[in-house]
Homo-oligomer: A and B are copies of this chain.
Amino acid sequence: MKEITNLIAYRPDVRVIDATLRDGGLVNDFYFNDDFVKALYQTNLKAGVDYMEFGYKASKEMFDVKKFGKWKFSSDEDIRAIVGENDTDLKIAVMADVGRTDYKTDIIDKADSPIDLIRVATYLNTIPEAVDMIEDAYRKGYEVSCNIMAISNAQEGDLRAALEILGKTPVDVFYIVDSYGALYPEQVARLADLYLDIANKYDKKVGIHAHNNQQLAFANTIEAVGDGVDWLDATYSSMGRGAGNCAMELLLGFLRNPKYKEYPAIQFIDEYMNRLKAEGTVWGYDLQYLMTGLLNQHPRTAIQFTKEKRTDYAEFYREVVAQD
């Protein structure tokens, strides 16, 4: 059992990262209007959130800028139009996907950028390129984190090897990423032990990015924070791909550091997130995501089911079991 003081005191090293624009952008192809983004920025400031992730630094060679909103590409100019010089305690992050980012050209020196943190996202089989990207971002003056995605079906040996490689880079934070929403809290506890073991050896921090396929995104996040994981991703109203993420409004209510405030989160949801939903943007826990999570499958079939507005859940269950 965890320390009885954990729920009453707090660990000052905890950092809350708002991933609404980035993971939520996967739901609406990054079409957020500026009013929304400005209100989100103000909300994060008031709520005491530590980092705001704006979106991806996606390659304009690979992705058609006419087919996505601007936060797919998150140019420094577009970020500056929202945050100005960002003379605040809220730091700015973007995500850079291995193989989908022209990082050598599109990520400029930190001295000339409003961005503070580059979040490198990788699969286990692309760790060497992730290392290149980490070193590039570090040389340019950024904080750097690394998300190893889809680990719920990774071999522990491979994961350990990857973390050992990352430990020797200048990365600041390793992320546990439950891309499929397949992990139970007990498994998160074991992964946190594994990650922290190597993180402590190399003086790194550990983070968690959870998905809500089994209504466990919040539970897995607070399990992890109880285990010593410091960097916590959340999104307002859980907005994120498929079943969405750990809800910011749940996480802020749980954390005991007085700098975190619940009311600005409630206000933002009331005014902005609920409007997105009312206008027809669809995300969040539903039976099709439970099924892919339970079977530890990529959520793409469930996302397709949602897009097609199918409601034949029993038939979908037969399909995903057949594909298992």
Which A residues fall within an 8 A CB radius of B?
Answer: 1-2, 4, 6-7, 184-187, 189-190, 193, 212, 214-219, 222-223, 226, 247, 249-250, 253-254, 262-263, 266-267, 269-271, 274, 287, 290-291, 294, 311-314, 317, 321
Complex contacts, A290 vs chain B, CB 8 Å: 249-250, 253
Q: Are A253 and B313 in contact (CB under 8 A)?
A: no
Bound-state CA distance A129–B264 (Å) is 46
Bound-state CA distance A11–B27 (Å) is 40
Tell me the minimal C-beta distance from A295 to chain B in angstroms: 9
Taking A185-B219, A185-B223, A270-B287 as known contacts, 7 extra A-B pairs with beta carbons closer than 8 A to each other, sorted by chain A number, are A1-B190, A214-B218, A214-B250, A215-B218, A218-B219, A219-B219, A270-B313
Contact of A186 among B6, B184, B186, B321 (CB under 8 A): B6
Closest to A295 in B: B253
Q: Are A226 and B186 in contact (CB under 8 A)?
A: yes
Complex contacts, A187 vs chain B, CB 8 Å: 7
Tell me the minimal C-beta distance from A227 to chain B in angstroms: 9
Which secondary structure dominates chain A's binding surface? helix
Tell me the minimal C-beta distance from A320 to chain B in angstroms: 10
Bound-state CA distance A247–B286 (Å) is 11
Bound-state CA distance A311–B222 (Å) is 28
Q: Are B184 and A254 in contact (CB under 8 A)?
A: yes
Q: Known: A186-B2, A254-B184, A314-B267. Is A218-B216 also a contact (CB below 8 A)?
A: yes
Q: Known: A187-B7, A263-B317, A266-B287. Is A250-B215 also a contact (CB below 8 A)?
A: yes
